Chain A
Amino acid sequence: MNDVLDVALRLLAVFAAFLVLPLVVGQTEHKVMAHMQGRLGPMYAGGFHGWAQLVADGVKFAQKEDVVPAEADRRVFRLAPAVALLPYLLVLLAIPVGPDTVGQVVDAGVFFVLAVMGVGVLGSLMAGWASANKFSLLGGLRTAAQLLSYELPMLLAAASVAMAAGTVSLTGILDAFEWWWLPWQIVGAVVFFVAGLAELQRPPFDMPVADSEIIFGAYTEYTGMRFALFLLAEYAGIVVLCGLTTVLFLGGWHGPLGADGLGWLWTLLKTAVLAFVVIWLRVSYPRMREDQLQRLAWTVLVPLALAQIALTGVVKVVL
């Protein structure tokens, strides 16, 4: 009985985090982006500095008609938002926040997390194919190309950390973490973060949804709640990516003020800083061209990730 309650509580907590954190990131993006552009951003919804803007947006989306194009592959079209969103919920379940605070300890954590995150991109692919719209198809294919090229450096960078820790369990990696891993794995961290950004199709890697040329890529035909789910998936993806980078490369709950009870605060803080960086990059850089995207992945990120693995291996053998 106690186990059931425990599981239910954990699931509930993860679900609450899954609903709240993306909204917090989204609101932060509204405000940070606005101020970086010399604007104020939302100021009215909710009264105080527009804090309820995303709630209002959600209400708006819920009121809209759910249109499915006549020529669309209806079942796939309707399924796609769920496929895009749910993997991030599963990944969030496996990310350790504190030494004992984790939704579910998965032994092959790195594998599980990266594999399931890859499924998330499948949602955009399904949406692009099922919409029966040439812009959606273009966006879907660009998503596919991006997924193919950026999964590799992401995996290689994560493998480097797994090599260093000698385990693929996320909590195991964090238990083995030492502060000097930070400079040791910094290249891998950058590669992982950049590749993750590309996989989330965040600017400057938002070629698949480039709204000025292919409308909104795979999401062109979506309206109402389904479109909102895709947006939520993007922000959940940011939370997951930043959480993963924190856990794998920034030492998760380890902090200079090693208070044992406050480890989860360190994780959240690092995740928040990374989320800010994600927003910052979006504001600062223009969209990369499709060929530049591919070239960055294959000629920069993959060699860097391989070099990181080599470095990790050398240091590991020497020690």
Chain B
Amino acid sequence: MSPIPGSGLAKGLAVTLRTMTRRSVTARYPDVLPDLPPRTRGVIGLFEENCTVCMLCARECPDWCIYIDSHKETVPPAAPGGRERSRNVLDRFAIDFSLCMYCGICIEVCPFDALFWSPEFEYAETDIHELTHERDKLREWMWTVPAPPPLDPRAEEPKELAAARKAAEKLEAAEAAAAARADEPSGPAAEADGTGGGDRQGGEGPA
């Protein structure tokens, strides 16, 4: 019991009056866009240059909402006399966002950093079939993905940068060797450089 009868009633009135003087909390969404955290998980973007059609995302997806079609192409050997190599070419990459439950497993599982969370969230459709978004739309969303957070000071170099740098250094060394060979024409010209084949996997695409 309150000490003064009716003080509870007055307190109730005070609460509502105080609330009236404060700013209301209503989000005026269509007029004013929400102030979302930069890494909001709004939609999944595809960085298709990184995709190797390994199908891991489609297989891990609990909802089976990722559709991937691809075919193999052969690429001519990198060096004369080498073996022809086959390469996967992405034909279709689609995510059905009417099935997707935004668990993010596909993004976690992608070994080539081809899938990313984008903060974009305004992709409602009037027809459920139109929620299956194809690779062009997914690629477009990639532009809204914020840049990765900076590495810690004195952290290890990112793998793709390291690989690219190694390739560049190797090339430089080979060029230097070639220049040295050109200086003394009587030297043996047997050694062929191997810049093309060996580094292919690591240096595929910087993110």
Residues of A within 8 A of B (CB): 32, 34-40, 43, 280-281, 283-285
List 17 additional contacts besides A34-B24, A35-B19, A284-B12; criterion CB under 8 Å: A32-B20, A35-B20, A35-B24, A36-B16, A36-B17, A38-B19, A38-B22, A38-B25, A39-B24, A39-B26, A40-B24, A40-B26, A280-B13, A280-B17, A284-B15, A284-B16, A285-B9
Residues of B within 8 A of A285 (CB): 9, 12
Give the dominant DSSP class at A's interface: helix
Do A283 and B24 have beta carbons less than 8 Å apart?
no
Residues of A within 8 A of B25 (CB): 38-39
Interface string of B8-40 (1 = CB under 8 A from A): 010011011101101011101000000000000
Question: What residue of chain B has the Cβ atom nearest to residue A35's Cβ?
Answer: B20
Do A37 and B19 have beta carbons less than 8 Å apart?
yes
Do A40 and B19 have beta carbons less than 8 Å apart?
no
With both chains docked as a complex, state the minimum distance between the C-beta of B156 and any C-beta of chain A, in angstroms.
Answer: 49
With both chains docked as a complex, state the minimum distance between the C-beta of B158 and any C-beta of chain A, in angstroms.
Answer: 47
With both chains docked as a complex, state the minimum distance between the C-beta of A317 and any C-beta of chain B, in angstroms.
Answer: 31
With both chains docked as a complex, state the minimum distance between the C-beta of A84 and any C-beta of chain B, in angstroms.
Answer: 29
Residues of A within 8 A of B20 (CB): 32, 35-36
**Roughly how many angstroms separate A285 CA and B13 CA in the complex, as a whole number?**
8
What are 12 A-B residue pairs whose CB atoms fall within 8 Å in the complex?
A35-B19, A35-B24, A36-B17, A36-B19, A37-B19, A40-B26, A40-B28, A280-B17, A283-B16, A284-B15, A284-B16, A285-B9
Residues of A within 8 A of B28 (CB): 40, 43
Residues of B within 8 A of A35 (CB): 19-20, 24
**Roughly how many angstroms separate A37 CA and B22 CA in the complex, as a whole number?**
10
Residues of A within 8 A of B22 (CB): 38
With both chains docked as a complex, state the minimum distance between the C-beta of A191 and any C-beta of chain B, in angstroms.
Answer: 15
With both chains docked as a complex, state the minimum distance between the C-beta of B120 and any C-beta of chain A, in angstroms.
Answer: 26
Residues of A within 8 A of B9 (CB): 285
Residues of B within 8 A of A280 (CB): 13, 16-17
Residues of A within 8 A of B24 (CB): 34-35, 38-40
